[in-house]
Amino acid sequence: MAFKPANNIQDLQYFGEFGGVNPSISDSSTYTFLSAKTMFDTFEGNADGCYLYSRHSSPSNLYLGEALAAMEGTETANVTASGMGAITAVLLQLCGAGDHVISSRTIYGGTYAFLKNFTPRFNIETSFVDITNLDLVETSITKNTKVIFCESVSNPLLEVADIKGLTRIAKEHNLKLVVDNTFSPLSISPAKLGADIVVHSLTKFINGASDTVAGVICGTQEFINDLRNVNDGACMLLGSTMDSFRSASVLKNLRTLHVRMQQHSKNALYLAVKFEADGLKTVYPGLKSHPSHQLFKSMMNHQYGFGGMLTIDVGSIEKANQLMELMQNENLGYLAVSLGFYKTLFSAPGTSTSSEIPEEEQEQMGLSDGLIRFSVGLDADIERTYQMMCRCMEKLNVFEKEVPSI
């Protein structure tokens, strides 16, 4: 039977203290005990349903975690204060001194910087590879490799990872496959395709309101218990804990995610098809011209579409900047990083979210100067948006082929 992630969210029922339709928010950092023995047992993790201190867990954080686990089809989940709080905790839980990571080379700039510049301080080394080349992934494995890390749809180039293929390699070599699914919630369910651990920046589509940063780690009960272990758990000890008020707020937004993703995808597909027909170099997984279009189709939960992210290449950073400023002045969206907002957001990744990646490497991976990344909004009338964007592009001669300079 097809996996129905939104049904799994909808079917959960949490009532408030007085029968409220939303769960009560746990507005406490610490919890009282009637007996000292129960306090000890709770500290040791042996008293189910008891709370001790809100960095360990809180009712509000558990509600949100369970809803996200239901969405991803994992046993359970742990929410964190940011996406980076989730990613760093997972990698440091799985890897220690001497270990090796294989990572996609086109990933979020913060994750790239962490693996490239930070974890070498702990003698954890990373090979950055073209994740779409499974042979290369396999030949990069060393006796010290512990983790394969990728994004299901990569930032900002929208490369698509073959999660089943990567799962097969990971299983064969006894590695953990960790997938960042921030760009494709509901559309792709990495755990259902075999991934061991799924992480998200909730900051983006899942919360969808651009009012907070938040993250989650979805996995087995055993792995989440390890992360929460008071003696050596990365979530517990690094302390990237979400606040209960935020958990409650993200949970409420999560309930409309399926409706929003459908609209983001519908609008992005509309624009991508039009831009491509206009002769713009357009990348969107929903286009037949995308090298992994068929792969995405084979993995997706169809009703949520190909996601809200697309890129166009307008030739130069100057033109990209002019176009983004003009579109913002026309109220078509905002010149801003991040994604998943009701308004369209656009940025030039080379000089913003991927600026951690050295220029030379950006070039190698095909991250060109004139690239504009769009997080397409929930526009009610995308045809009007397209017409207005076209007028901006015509004004700046974006459709005209660049004359090569001598």
Ligand X SMILES: *Cc1c(COP(=O)(O)O)cnc(C)c1O
**Which CB, 213 or 268, lies closer to ligand X?**
213
Q: Which member of 56, 100, 176, 204 binds ligand X (CB under 6 A)?
A: 204
Query: Residue from 65, 83, 233, 350 that binds ligand X (CB under 6 A)?
Result: 83
Instruction: Give the phi and the psi of residue 400 in degrees, each rounded to 5.
Output: -80, 140
Taking CB under 6 A as the binding criterion, the range among 49-57, 105-113, 221-229, 363-371 that sits at the site for ligand X is 105-113
Residue 84 binds ligand X, judged by CB under 6 A: yes
Distance CA 43, CA 52 (A): 7
Between 153 and 320, name the residue whose CB sits nearer to ligand X.
153
- In this structure, the strands spanning 125-129 and 145-151 are unpaired
Q: Tell whether residue 373 is a contact of ligand X (CB under 6 A).
A: no
Nearer to ligand X, 54 or 152 (CB): 152
Helical residues (DSSP H) of 218-348, grouped into ranges = 221-228, 234-238, 244-254, 257-277, 293-299, 317-329
* 240: contact with ligand X by CB under 6 A: no
Q: CB of 75: closest distance to ligand X in angstroms?
A: 23
Contact 353, 156 (CB under 8 A): yes
Residue 137 makes contact with ligand X by CB under 6 A = no
Determine, following the binding rule CB under 6 A, whether residue 208 of this chain makes contact with ligand X. no
What is the residue type of 90?
V
Q: Is 80 helix (H, G, I), strand (E, B) or coil?
A: strand
Interface with ligand X, residue 216, by CB under 6 A: no
DSSP classification of residue 349:
G
Backbone angles phi, psi at 216, to 5 degrees: -150, 150
Stretch that binds ligand X, among 34-42, 78-86, 268-276, 397-405 (CB under 6 A): 78-86
CA distances from 90 to 115, 247, 339 (A): 12, 20, 23
For position 233 contacting ligand X by CB under 6 A, the verdict is: no
Among 26, 42, 60, 82, binds ligand X (CB under 6 A): 82
Shortest distance in whole angstroms from residue 59 CB to ligand X: 23
Q: What is the C-alpha to C-alpha distance for residues 232 and 123, in angstroms, rounded to an integer? A: 18
Among 213, 235, 257, 261, binds ligand X (CB under 6 A): 213
List 177's β-bridge partners, or say none.
148
Which residue from 225, 234, 168 is spatially nearest to 196, judged by alpha carbons?
168
Q: Does 26 bind ligand X (CB under 6 A)?
A: no
The site for ligand X, by CB under 6 A, has a size of 16
Q: What amino acid is encoded at 69 in this protein?
A: A
Distance of CA 234 to the CA centre of its chain: 20
Exactly one of 201, 249, 362, 385 binds ligand X (CB under 6 A); that residue is: 201
Q: Cis link prior to 59 (omega < 30° from 0)?
A: no
- Tokens, residue 315: 């030739």
* Site membership for ligand X, residue 307 (CB under 6 A): no
Q: Is 330 exposed, middle or buried (0-12, 13-18, 19+ CB in 10 A)?
A: middle
Nearer to ligand X by C-beta: 117 or 221? 117
In the complex, residue closest to ligand X by CB: 83
User: Phi-psi region for residue 305, left (φ > 0), alpha (ψ -120 to 50) or beta?
Assistant: left
Minimal distance, residue 39 CB to ligand X, in Å:
33
- Closest contact distance (angstroms) between CB of 80 and ligand X is 9
Site for ligand X in 174-193 (CB under 6 A): 180, 182-183
Candidates 108-116, 118-126, 326-334, 354-362 — which segment interacts with ligand X by CB under 6 A?
Answer: 108-116
Using alpha carbons, select from 217, 301, 205, 214 the residue that is nearest to residue 260. Answer: 205
If binding is defined by CB under 6 A, does position 110 make contact with ligand X?
yes
CB 274 within 8 A of CB 88: no
* 368 binds ligand X per the rule CB under 6 A: no
Among residues 213, 120, 145, 217, the alpha carbon closest in space to that of 178 is found at 217
**CB-nearer residue toward ligand X: 60 or 182:** 182
Among 151, 196, 276, 369, binds ligand X (CB under 6 A): 151
Q: Which of 74, 189, 203, 265 binds ligand X (CB under 6 A)?
A: 203
Chain residues that interact with ligand X, rule: CB under 6 A: 82-84, 108, 110-111, 151, 155, 180, 182-183, 201, 203-204, 213, 215
